Structure 1
């Protein structure tokens, strides 16, 4: 019988095991998700799935403790109401995470690696400005990695697009409803204005999707995931810069 893989998730460990681990490794990985719509073809927690998978795989590979996922973030606003979504204001997200870091710092953790897969600027900024009372905070925005060489459609990140849909086809294929994908009917000029920040809300005719989700494939998702994982390995765990936080 195969020996069960050791868990580094603090929610699955007795506090005494966490304390013992801190004697030789004081790092903590914190996945930050979002309860946000990702079009009619992806689950509300699509970005959370990506952040959790990265946190889990890196935790196991490098033997670093992993905190429970923080499931709420700052959502991309839309002109439609998307049922089931829930969001925090940027300052609320920032304060909540800072309070958690303060508690963990008091217990001996001295390096925090926050991983998120939500490129919405207020969400990313709320996490990028986190500070721990002691130690350092490193922030990884997974979807900010350059994926242009792996995409057939847009070379920049859009919302619920080819990149995120491919990632979910790799990580959670059962949760992707490819038959619900339709080409956006919104004026491309209006969509582009939203992508570059000139419109405050996702145009309603887009059905919550911007970009070419129909171009997504499982194999593309595998390559994208491995590319992101390798970038994080090199920049955060293998050869991190001495005084620079990840973006």
Structure 2
């Protein structure tokens, strides 16, 4: 009789006593930190959709590589024009940056020498707030999961999206019960609206949008699985497998 395959251990900080955390840090000084967002994602996706993706990636990488994983920060920097959507709530870039800096300061004093932030929000001020976090005597790395080129998996528009084919497919794979495909509505921007509404300087959905940009009706769970595995492999290769150059004189 074949023995069941053991479930990979969770290295979530919230599940471990401090003594086990200390013992683990003696051999592996990395910490994964998923940073989510509580932002509207159209009428068909939950406001925590970006958080779902970041948490799933962090959990899978934590188990696979035996790296400690911090509790998820569920709030990020949202588009100001979307603050009136019920349920959406965010913080300023300065607040997010300060909160993360204070957290990594505590953890670095306890022996963490490398922080790996994972976020699935593509809003520039959010990404910038995370990317500019610094820790004394520790390395900080930032993974913007949806910055990976996923054009090869798309059947619809390959331009900027918000709750479009990409995120909807990922949620259909990761948490299908939370997706309301009967409510999904496509909204493709023409060239003029694209320049006005999706510029890096200031993103704002037009009034006629249902809260989406792109074609979520083209999303499928099968696409979502392939996208997710592609993103996961990119992170594996770049962050966990590729050798990390150590500056001369730095023995961390």
TM-score (norm 2): 0.91
Task: Verify the 8 A CA contact 1:29 1:65 in the aligned structure 2.
Answer: yes
Q: CA deviation at 1:93?
A: 0.3
CA distance in 2, matches of 1:155, 1:185: 10
Alignment: residue pair count: 244
Q: Following the alignment from structure 1 to structure 2, what is the Cα–Cα distance between the partners of residues 106 and 198?
A: 37
Structure 1 partner of 2:108: 105
| C-alpha displacement of 1:193 | 2.6
Tell me whether 1:121 sits opposite 2:124 in the alignment.
yes
Task: State how far apart, in whole Å, the 2-side matches of 1:71 and 1:198 are.
Answer: 24
Name the residue aligned to 1:136: 139
Partner of residue 26 from structure 1, selected from 6, 24, 29: 29
Cα distance, 1:187 vs. partner?
6.0
Conserved in 2, the CA contact under 8 Å of 1:51 and 1:116? yes
- Can you give the 5+ residue segments of structure 1 that lack an aligned partner in the other structure? none
After TM superposition, the structure 1 = structure 2 runs for residues 109-188 of structure 1, keeping only pairs within 5 Å, are 109-184=112-187
The reply to whether residue 8 of structure 1 matches residue 11 of structure 2 is: yes
Query: Does 1:37 pair with 2:40?
Result: yes
Q: 1:229 aligns to what?
A: 232
5+ long unaligned stretches in structure 2? 248-252
Out of 112-121 and 193-202, give the one that drifted further: 193-202
Superposed CA RMSD: 1.9
Alpha-carbon separation, structure 1, partners of 2:46 and 2:246? 37
Q: Distance in 2 between matches of 1:243 and 1:161?
A: 40
Confirm or deny: 8 A CA contact 1:41 1:180 kept in the other structure.
Answer: yes
The 1:206–1:192 alpha-carbon spacing in structure 2 relative to 1, beyond 3 Å, is: farther
Name the SS for the 1:31 alignment partner: strand
- Following superposition, the deviation at residue 7 of structure 1 comes to 1.6
> 1:214 corresponds to which residue?
217
CA distance in 2, matches of 1:90, 1:174: 32
**1:63 paired residue number:** 66
Q: Which segment is superposed worse, 182-191 or 220-229? A: 182-191
Range with greater deviation from structure 2 (229-238 or 127-136): 127-136
The CA distance in 1 between the partners of 2:20 and 2:202, in whole Å, is 49
TM-score between both structures, scaled by the size of structure 1: 0.93
Say whether residues 1:87 and 2:90 are aligned partners: yes
Q: Does the CA-based 8 Å contact 1:185-1:205 persist in structure 2?
A: no
Say which SS state the counterpart of residue 81 (structure 2) adopts. coil
Go from structure 1 to structure 2 and tell me whether the alpha carbon gap of 1:110 and 1:189 turns closer, same or farther (over 3 Å shift): same
The answer to whether the 8 Å contact 1:8/1:59 transfers is yes
Offset, 1:184: 2.4
Shift in alpha-carbon separation, 1:185–1:162, aligned structure 2, 3 A: closer
What is the aligned partner in structure 1 of residue 55 from structure 2?
52
What is the CA–CA distance in structure 1 between the aligned matches of 2:183 and 2:49, rounded to whole Å?
Answer: 15
Alignment of 1:66-77 (within 5 A): 66-77=69-80
* Alpha-carbon displacement from aligned partner over 1:127-173 (angstroms, at most 9, x marks no partner): 11110112100000000001111111122341101000000000000
CA offsets per residue over residues 183-205 of structure 1, 9 Å max, x none? 32876632453123465421121
Quote how far apart the aligned CAs of 1:59 are: 0.2
